[in-house]
Amino acid sequence: MITITDDGAAVLGLSLDDPDNSPSVRQKAEQLIDQLPREFSSPAGTAGVEMPPPGSRQEWQDDQVQLRVGTLDDSPATR
């Protein structure tokens, strides 16, 4: 899923099926959250359970997530 936030940033959403709460799926999520920002030239990424994508930079910073990599600067995204 790809969404655009209120302040013009692109957000990529990825879903991993994990009905059994498997440690191997958590490990795969950790690998992806490290890999995907590099592949998409993104400054940061987060991973959580059943979370909608953030609608703004503030939501991204406020979200309670299980995994977080990188940082966002304070300037709004360019359009």
Asked whether residue 76 is assigned to any structural domain, the reply reads no
Asked whether residue 53 is assigned to any structural domain, the reply reads yes
Number of domains in the chain: 1
Residues 1-6: what's their mean pLDDT? 82
Q: pLDDT confidence of 79, banded at 50, 70, 90?
A: very low
Name the residue among 63, 58, 65, 56 with its Cα closest to residue 7: 56
pLDDT (tens digit, 9 = 90+) per residue, 29-66? 889 988 988 898 888 888 887 877 788 888 878 888 88
pLDDT at 24 (0 to 100): 93
Please give the residue range of the domain that contains residue 51.
2-63
Asked whether residue 43 is assigned to any structural domain, the reply reads yes
Q: How far apart are CA 61 and CA 58, in angstroms?
A: 5
Q: Per-residue pLDDT for 74 more than 70?
A: no
How many of the other CB atoms lie within 10 Å of CB of 33?
A: 20
Please state the pTM of the whole predicted model. Answer: 0.67
